[in-house]
Structure 1
């Protein structure tokens, strides 16, 4: 796929990923309950909407404390301006455990706050707020670091995370990988799993326990005009994983980890499932904080291809990388056909373009991932540590990497290109910082 073909493909993808349509039926949440807790009202309203053939569940202005919200086919959860869905901080309100992924490994765990499994034509829309209630007192301390409220003697997720990785490596059936009650693997905010025709539009998301929007093995996903402010641990903004046909447009990310991270399963579990993530378009987004602006990986095991990024703004105090392709020979998989153009960078603490096969575990596995056909053009960068850092393996170099028609000013140190074949740097200006 050359550059002209790539952007024609991206335009066709943009036209193909359309929002689901819903019948003009409206079900007011307040008609299904009242009081201090709205969990049952959400369940009843969504069920009524679904059983009627679909439509919209309206959440009017006000604050609605609730536990897990599970969407059903043909239902739009419409959160009006002035409305806040305030999620409980009690882990018991996210039980029974559901089929999910924690850090790209399948298991049964606490329900994501808004969850759907095997549904079609679902949406979360409106100008209201989804508030996860997380902070150093709730959820974030589970990560086990003092920065986020953990103190010696408190439990944390390390033991459970080790156990889950061990189960995946040993081939333990997913239904036996049971966590939830008594465990400390944090749930995601929004997770449609094995769904088709998914829309998340307009809402504001704050204080999530972990990843914010995490579609898994979904097809035809549209995320647009969403604003996310959540600087907790592992608080990725949007992580399409093993999905096909995804458009992320017009969003603002101010988060505690990667703004967008394209993923495809991890390690033995990713190989077992074997589903790639492909056909992802990211456009007109503003990435402000914290690690990768657009990350690909670290979970690449099922393979990632056809990722397109255009007209985005990257940068801010505390934002690290621009395009950040990160994997290693333990994770494996592949990454191919990544195209980036017309990006404005107003400051990154690290590289504008980083493709690094020594990320994390380094070169300690037997599955070196092929990375090929990475194209970056039209970048205008005001300040970075380096313009690019490119590191392949001697036996598996990066291939067909092109950076063209770009300007990098205020660069602090020299660029790195190690074990790269067919590297093309053309019409690129790099000016060091004074």
Structure 2
């Protein structure tokens, strides 16, 4: 006779067996990923869902848009997007022509699609960009709306081969940075004024609630261009982006983001091409970056604000991209307080006398955070100005960038890298004695010309495997 007690014991035994098998499999997967991290990248790619939209089209001209480059179309875009969202989603079509508008706010299940000869010209009147919950240099605040803003939405896209033109230049937006090279003159207001950026950072250090960090008009903190804030399942494909006020593509606290075939050409101040921040499962592929700052810069918050949010950026994949001008090809930091891990970069071309570094990690003891498991392979590097790999724990752009939050950096792997002119150093790395940089590997790396092989301070375990620099095979450094 089968009793209830017998069945309960059998169920418990089965559960124990299942847990054992699950843990065993997990250990095997983990071991496989450690042995070949690129298999882990493939699994991440397969796990990322793609956007899907209803076969319905909402032409902005049907909502009053005028393609003369002069008439404001803000209301027409609002109406078209609202109607599309209310009816279950689809494509908001921007036909060929030039369309002036203020900020565009997208909704779930909406694909903003630009025809090949379409160009959206964004207003340079800062008063049109009303307050929203956003971020400036890794610190959350209430500030001018990004030019395209998407907050808390799912299944949303920007597609097509048209142009998004921020119209920023030395006469608007850019002078707010406070540097003469971008149109600012002494005596003019800028982000460096006491009540602007520094005040925001101080508020964050005092844990002032974000809704009370009110900036916007009169504070000269430039808006991001395209920001996906707390979004899931996002696509940006094929568009060209020019003349940005500030950071250009900014997924923040977002998951499952694909940026594919995008061209960024913008040489303004802080014109990073793409800044995933507190974001996970992000693919950046087939893109061209020609920028005034870092081409790709992976972020996770600044100082106290980054520690408050506490979401690391991870599972970031960069494939088949071209980096032209910029401070760095693929960069992590400096706003990196919540940490960065599992970054995969492959099959990219980096080449310009105005590209400072190929791969860069920058942090300091105010930022803290852990950066680990960075994998790079199959790069073709023509010319970089400073070095192939730059890793520093002493990044100090604005001064007073030391604190009590010791950063950690470890496990950086570069494989099959071909460099014609590496600039000053193959590797330039400086860590703390209390927290040395650990485990840098160059495998099958060839640097034809560079001034110095490396400059290392407080770095442990630098492994050179079949690596030739200036025609000589380089031996590993164990310490």
TM-score, L = length of structure 2: 0.88
Matching residue within 95, 118, 129 for 1:83: 118
**Alignment match, 1:347:** 383
2:414 to 357, 376, 393: 376
Residues 365, 407 of structure 2: 8 Å contact kept: yes
Q: 1:428 aligns with which of 463, 467, 479?
A: 467
Structure 1 stretch displaced more, 130-139 or 27-36: 27-36
Find the aligned partners of 2:245 and 2:466 in 1 and give their Cα distance. 44
Q: CA offset at residue 225 of structure 1?
A: 0.2
Residue 310 (structure 1) aligns with = 346
Counterpart in the other structure of 1:7: 38
Give SS of 1:166's match.
helix
The 1:8–1:414 alpha-carbon spacing in structure 2 relative to 1, beyond 3 Å, is: closer
Aligned match of 1:99? 133
Counterpart Cα distance in 2 of 1:202 and 1:219: 20
Structure 1 residue ranges (4+ consecutive) displaced by more than 4 angstroms after TM superposition: 1-4
The within-5 A match list for 1:283-298 is 283-298=319-334
Flag the structure with more relative contact order, 1 or 2, with Cα contacts below 8 A and sequence separation at least 6: 1
- Find out whether 1:263 has 2:302 as its counterpart: no
Counterpart secondary structure, 2:277: coil
Shift of 1:344: 0.5
Q: Structure 2: 5+ residue runs without aligned partners?
A: 1-29, 473-479
Correspondence for 1:43:
78
CA distance in 2, matches of 1:41, 1:406: 54
Pair 1:404-2:443 in alignment: yes
Could you say which residue in structure 2 is the equivalent of 1:364? Answer: 402
Write the distance in 2 (CA, Å) between the matches of 1:296 and 1:260.
8
Which has the higher mean CA deviation after the structures are superposed, 83-92 or 404-413? 404-413
Paired position in structure 1 for 2:179: 145
Q: Which residue of 2 aligns with 1:24?
A: 55
- 1:45-74: CA deviations, max 9, x gaps? 001110000100000000000000000000
TM-score normalised over the length of structure 1: 0.97
The CA deviation at 1:374 is 0.9
Q: CA deviation at 1:422?
A: 2.2
Q: How does 1:118-129 map to 2 (within 5 A)?
A: 118-129=152-163
Q: CA deviation at 1:3?
A: 6.0
Find the counterpart in structure 2 of residue 239 from structure 1. 275
Query: What RMSD, in angstroms, separates the aligned Cα atoms of the two structures?
Result: 1.4
**What is the rounded CA distance, in whole Å, between the counterparts of 1:378 and 1:359 in structure 2?**
28
* Contact 1:341/1:377 (8 A) holds in 2: yes
Q: Are residues 327 and 362 of structure 1, via their aligned partners in 2, closer, same or farther at CA, if it must alter by over 3 Å?
A: farther
Bigger mean CA offset, 3-12 vs 181-190: 3-12
Q: Within 5 A, what are the aligned runs for 1:195-234?
A: 195-234=231-270
> C-alpha distance in 1, partners of 2:185/2:303?
31
Give, in whole Å, the separation in 2 of the partners of 1:397 and 1:347: 29
Paired with 1:363 and 1:115, the residues of 2 have a C-alpha distance of 31
Match of 1:57 among 65, 72, 92: 92
CA distance in 2, matches of 1:151, 1:396: 42
Instruction: Show the counterpart of 1:162.
Output: 198
CA contact (8 A) 2:453 2:469 kept: no
Higher helix proportion? 2
Aligned-pair distance for 1:362? Answer: 8.3
How many residue pairs get matched?
432
* C-alpha separation in 1, matches of 2:182 and 2:91: 37
Mapped partners of 1:22, 1:364: distance in 2? 48
The answer to whether 1:114 aligns with 2:145 is no
